[in-house]
Amino acid sequence: MPVKVLLADDHEILLESLATSINASSEIEVVSTATNGEEVLKKLDIYEVDVLVCDMQMPIMDGITTVLQVRQSFPEVRILMLTMLEDNIPIRSAIQAGASGYILKKSKKAELEKAILAVASGKKYFNEELLASLTHEEEYNAVDYQHQSLTERELEVLILIAEEYSSQQIANKLFISLNTVESHRKNIFRKLNIKNLAGIIKYALQHKLIQ
């Protein structure tokens, strides 16, 4: 079943172009479009939506206010900000409001599709260029960017590994097979480029996943 997307942007030509481009993917379906925040809320009442792709700057209700309203009224909808703004301040504002990702309008179609699918699956997604900029901000350490590539289950397993649970204990605690635990363990080490248990514990402490 394709990921259902609502596109929101006040530039109608861009909106139509994005909808046509995204609909070319067999994994994503644009169910509707909106040109402002109020219209977004009305459309979410009508359509079943997995991901809202929302412009930061819109009339009537701006992107940040829209994110706050959507998170309050439709908490199951994931939000990906699509914008020309490269300033760290609105990026942080969008994240704090509840956006799951942030991507630039100049990004290629393949990256936009990748971002939508990542956000729909429960991950966070940030354009690499923006992420590099944010690494120089003090606030960066307070937000979960570094493990955006991990699934929620992998994050659970990572925490238990850091707490020195054995693979069998993790399997019992999460009601999954030992083979599944080992698969998650391999993925975690690969994605985070960590070599041993000491590295896992250090990572978990740095990101305040354990105390």
Residue 210 vs residue 105, higher pLDDT? 105
Domain locations in the chain as residue ranges: 3-138, 152-206
Please report, rounded to a whole number, the percentage of residues in the chain having pLDDT higher than 70. Answer: 87
CATH of 3-138, one of 3.30.720.210, 3.40.50.720, 3.40.50.1100, 3.40.50.2300: 3.40.50.2300
Q: At what angle do helices 12-23 and 109-120 cross, to 10 degrees?
A: 70
Torsions phi, psi of 30, nearest 5?
-85, 110
pLDDT value of position 140: 43
pLDDT surpassing 50 at residue 130:
yes
Mean pLDDT of the 172-180 span: 92
Give the burial string for 55-81 (b: 16+ CB within 10 Å, else e). bbebeebbbbebbbbbeeebeebbbbb
Give the pLDDT of residue 197: 84
- Under DSSP, is residue 82 helix (H, G, I), strand (E, B) or coil? strand
When pLDDT is averaged across residues 166-194 and rounded to a whole number, the result is: 91
User: For residue 27, what pLDDT is reported?
Assistant: 94
- Confidence at residue 145, expressed as pLDDT on a 0 to 100 scale: 46
Percent of the chain with pLDDT strictly greater than 90: 40
Among the ranges given (5-9, 44-48, 143-147), the one the predictor scored with the smallest mean pLDDT: 143-147
Question: What CATH number does domain 152-206 carry, 1.20.1090.10, 1.10.10.10, 3.40.50.880, 3.30.360.10?
Answer: 1.10.10.10
- Six-digit token pair at 162? 């850091």
Contact 148, 123 (CB under 8 A): yes
Say if 3-138 and 152-206 have the same CATH topology: no
pLDDT higher at 127 or 41: 41
Strand partners, 81: 54, 102
Write the pLDDT tens digit of every residue in 79-106. 999 877 666 566 777 777 888 888 888 8
pLDDT of 147 higher than 70: no
All residues at 6 or more sequence positions from 156 whose CB lies less than 8 Å from its CB, including other chains: 174
Lowest-pLDDT range of 34-43, 109-118, 175-184, 198-207: 198-207
Task: Flag the least confident range among 23-32, 127-136, 153-162.
Answer: 127-136
Kindly tell me the sign of the dihedral angle through the C-alpha atoms of 55, 58, 64, 65.
Answer: negative
